[in-house]
Amino acid sequence: MKTALVLEGGAMRGMYTAGVLDVFLEEGRTFDGVIGVSAGALFGVNFLSKQKGRVIRYNKKYNKDSNYMGIKPLLRTGNIVDTDYAYVKVPRELDPFDDEAYQRSKVPFYAVITNMKTGKPEYKLIDSVFDRMETLRASGSMPFVSKPVKLDGNLYLDGAITDSIPYEYMLQKGYDHVVVVLTKAAGYVKKAMPPFLTKLYYKKKYPEFERTVRERHIMYNGQMERLKELEKQGKATIIQPSEEISISRIEKDPKKLQALYDLGIKDAIAYCRK
């Protein structure tokens, strides 16, 4: 049976995913394929490079730097996360990502991105993190606070806008079972975004993208319902926060980041001990 690992996004809620994946590394858990969206992609690659602890380490260290993330880089560059700092300096110099180990894993890893012209998701194989860093950046570039990322002549933003929990893609590729790591506790229901905001930012230039942003809650809540059915059928396993921890999408407090990471560890240990 081929099993795929599916990683939801959620910005700094991804610290939960980081905790889960570090337990999987400790336990020697492996998967036949992995797909991540937004923070799930950005943090998930460390699972294949086997760099336990890297995600929580660099986020606790650099998130509090006002030049790394927040209003300062947003006003200076149009991106709430300084792209050179986050996607070049940290992974290549300050806390190096092991791209050679990642490639040696031979496990296919896919990242989801959203095409701003079509308003549709696209799924890209990340065969090398350094070679595909712009694709990963596109997957994690949140609307409203990020500039679109240009790839092959097209503009892209956050893959979570169009496929927040990309388990269907992996099932369609022939995987028999999906282990889905969510970043929101049970019972979460996504609410509609104020339409004036989406229209103000995107309606004129990117009407299809604007529609998908505006209707994202419908897509997300539908995905959750289908996922629950798959779990009942034995085709999906869901791992999600066992309690609610309040955390900002651009959380800087190391204690809050650690608390969510620790919850991921606790829940993953409980899953592995079943």
Q: What confidence tens digit (pLDDT) does each residue in 167-222 have?
A: 999 999 999 999 999 999 999 999 998 888 899 999 999 999 999 999 999 999 99
- Across the range 86-113, mean pLDDT stands at 98
Q: Which among 44, 5, 22, 8 has a CA at the least distance from the CA of 241?
A: 8
Q: How far apart are CA 212 and CA 162, in angstroms?
A: 7
Contact 44, 36 (CB under 8 A): yes
The pLDDT tens digits for 41-55 are 999 999 999 999 999
Confidence of residue 62 (pLDDT cuts 50, 70, 90): very high
Nearby residues of 209 by Cβ (< 8 Å), 6 or more positions away: 114, 115, 116, 117, 119, 157, 161, 202
pLDDT of residue 83: 96
pTM (two decimals): 0.97
| Alpha carbon 174 to its chain's center | 22
Burial profile 47-64: b = 16 or more Cβ within 10 angstroms, e = fewer = bbbebbebbbebbbebbe
Q: Which two tokens stand for residue 136?
A: 């990963």
Confidence of residue 70 (pLDDT cuts 50, 70, 90): very high
Q: Which two tokens stand for residue 78?
A: 């149009």
The pLDDT tens digits for 118-170 are 999 999 999 999 999 999 999 999 999 999 999 999 999 999 999 999 999 99
Confidence of residue 274 (pLDDT cuts 50, 70, 90): confident
Mean residue pLDDT of the chain comes to 96
pLDDT of residue 195: 87
CA atoms within 13 A on the CB side of 225: 8
pLDDT of residue 245: 85
Beta strands in 99-202 (DSSP E): 109-115, 120-125, 149-151, 154-158, 177-181
Q: Which among 254, 257, 238 has a CA at the least distance from the CA of 186?
A: 238
Confidence of residue 19 (pLDDT cuts 50, 70, 90): very high
The pLDDT tens digits for 217-246 are 999 999 999 999 999 999 999 999 999 988
pLDDT of residue 86: 97
